[in-house]
Chain A
Amino acid sequence: MDATDQKRLLREMLFARRFEERCAEAYHERQIGGFLHLYPGEEACAIGVLEKAQTGSDYVVTGYRDHIHALKSGMDPKALMAELFGKEAGCSKGRGGSMHLFDPDVHFMGGYALVGGPFPLAAGFAKAIQLRGGQEISICFLGDGANNQGTFHETMNMASLWNLPVLFICENNLYGIGTAIERSTVEINQYKRVAPYGIEAAQCDGQDIDIVMTHAEKAVNYVREQRKPYFLELMTYRLRGHSMSDSGAYRSKEEVEEWAQRDPIGIYKRRLVEAGVVTEDEFHAMDKAVQDEIENEVVRYASECPEPRVEDVARYVYTEGGNNHG
């Protein structure tokens, strides 16, 4: 990877971080409502994996912590922020919200609130690809907690049985809200849980984007070439609360501090500085530029664009012409 791409990746992670932090502010200012699940600490996962996918063509689906997956899939940050602000110009026309971002134009097939719900959807995209004889793959990002749902086991079985081209990415951040993984799950190594289904799997560090990309490249190529599922577990950690209301009572300050030392942006920045790809000054300038862009373009756009019309509240329940055919 050349220096331009390395700098771009660093900027993308920084943008993701600042975007989420700005969302938190907007939430406190009550411009964003509902449940808001932020991604700081986990940036290398979505950005690293999707860097190795064919975004725009491969189908991507995830849970409710979906902002960065949407961005890296190619969603316009303005459409994303407008959605969070509940605006008509939002990616889901203000009908979805933070947990339900959609952009079928770039094959970002959504954020979903029900833990484990997207597993079968991802396999379904792969089923459609298979029927069409396409070369795309389907990529499903979910947390460790989702693997205790029936949909995990049912979908692994069918994806393997039917050779569906779907890549399962497990973002193992060690917790499902406030329950530590060893308190909910017998086999805490998630990648081992797909072995009975005959699915190839690996586990790797999710904080170092270079390591993520190495494994992701292998995984993506495997699925694309073998037309079979693959399961990649990324060991990661969220540095903020589960959502905007989180007691934090379930984990120690020391533990959070330890993981903060392994902040994916910090790791990558240090590496690029040491390699002479960026200087500290350039990094600060980049950070400033990112924050300016978010404020002056993204947030301003989201604040200024109009809300949906109340007369349209019942629009989109059915498709137009859903009763006409023949």
Chain B
Amino acid sequence: MAELMYWQGILRAHDEEMARDPLVFAMGEDIGVAGGTYKATSGLFAKYGEQRVVDTPISENSYTGIGVGAAMVGARPIVEIMSVNFAWLAMDQLMNNAAKIHYMSGGRIRCPFVMRVPGGTAHQLGAQHSARMEKVFMGISGLRVVTPATPRDAYGLLKSAVRSDDPVVIIEHESMYNLKGEVPDEEFFTPLEGVEIMRPGKDVSIFAYNISVHWALDAAKKLASEYGIDAEVIDLRALKPLDRAGIAASVRKTHHAIIVEEDEAPVGVGSEVMAIINEECFFDLDAAPVRVHALDIPIPYNHRLEKAAIPNAGDVIAAVRKMFGR
């Protein structure tokens, strides 16, 4: 098993899928000659040429639409949007076409379209480069939305997304491209549905995804060693469709639930998971579920203000301690 960085996992998935199927192609700004903003497509231009590693103009909506059109007639595009903030400009093609075409054609047209977006807050990029849009994507019927927390899943989710006949949005994270982790040497597919238990525990379920999985894991370590609380960390991983059964199973075991999200709380992952807990296993709860989340503000530039806006492992620990009165 090799240790790869997150970006290397993504690159490997591209390379394997492009080598396997000549109709798999990548598009995006600066992905080709320049090698990709986060190196996730580096070397592919030289290997596969400009028809299959397409440097696009800065026209997010239309190159997304070109990917969607190509997908509708059998090609398998992997469209990279340079930063999730710019995906707002592609929402028409994503939401009105990619997400709906299979349904509104009565199942007659498939749209095996993949969009990769680096999301999240990095360091002092300001309000227009710090969006977290998972709540937007996961609110769209017909899309699949997945978020890798590890290099293994950065690789495995892209592999699965390319093979899926549904449109898939993969939300990566700007601060995680250099994260290291083990990735199996043999070909590997991460399922596009279902949660993954990252750390089993019996006292409290901490639901997280993408970067917040790491906050939750850090918090769980400290909760165990310093407070004697055995937390179960669940990587939601697939945000659409959410794994109702997987969420409920963990809550039934621990009877406590915390949801950690990098996004603001309103209309978000946390509110959705809470609703699922309510609907599936309300009477299994020993305490009211709690959300740990970003402030509901545009992300500020100043480093202290930015830090104050985004949650961290300390906030998770504080929330769990409060829940247990320890």
Q: Which residues of A contact B (CB under 8 A)?
A: 59, 61, 90-96, 100, 102-104, 109-110, 112-114, 117, 119-132, 150-151, 154-155, 157-158, 161-162, 315-319, 321-323, 325-326
Contacts and interface: CB of A to CB of B under 8 A. Distances in A.
Contacts of B102: 316-319
16 contacts: A96-B105, A104-B108, A120-B68, A120-B93, A132-B23, A151-B61, A151-B92, A154-B59, A155-B62, A158-B57, A162-B54, A318-B142, A319-B102, A322-B144, A323-B144, A323-B164
B25 interface: yes
A190 B105 CA distance: 31
A100 B97 CA distance: 11
A120 B159 CA distance: 26
A123 B54 CA distance: 14
The 7 closest A-B pairs by CB, nearest first: A124-B69, A120-B65, A93-B106, A325-B163, A154-B62, A121-B69, A154-B59
Nearest to A124: B69
Contacts of A123: 62, 65-66, 69
Contacts of B189: 325-326
Contact of B72 (A114, A124, A132, A150): A124
Contact of B107 (A93, A132, A321): A93
Contacts of A162: 54
B246 to A, nearest CB: 13
Interface of B: 22-23, 25, 51-52, 54, 56-57, 59, 61-75, 92-93, 96-97, 101-110, 141-142, 144, 159-160, 163-166, 187, 189, 191-193
Given A94-B106, A120-B62, A127-B66, A317 B142 contact: yes
B44 to A, nearest CB: 15
A319 B192 CA distance: 13
B70 A131 contact: yes
A200 B176 CA distance: 46
A91 B159 CA distance: 33
Nearest to A157: B57
A151 B106 CA distance: 26
A158 B105 contact: no
Contact of B164 (A92, A120, A325): A325
A92 B108 CA distance: 7
A102 B101 CA distance: 9
B66 A155 contact: yes
A326 B157 CA distance: 11
Nearest to B73: A128
A117 B94 CA distance: 11
B66 A158 contact: yes
B63 A120 contact: yes
A325 B188 CA distance: 10
A323 B70 CA distance: 21
Contact of A92 (B25, B73, B105, B159): B105
Contacts of A158: 56-57, 59, 62-63, 66
A131 B106 contact: no
A125 B105 contact: no
A93 B105 CA distance: 7
Contacts of B159: 325-326
A220 B72 CA distance: 22
B104 A95 contact: yes
A235 B22 CA distance: 41
B106 A316 contact: yes
Given A117-B96, A322-B164, A122 B69 contact: yes
A99 B258 CA distance: 45
Contact of B166 (A61, A125, A154, A318): A318
Nearest to B106: A93
Contacts of B23: 128, 131-132
Contacts of B61: 120, 150-151, 154
A271 to B, nearest CB: 38
B73 A151 contact: no
B35 to A, nearest CB: 20
Nearest to B63: A158
A109 B72 contact: yes
Contacts of A94: 106
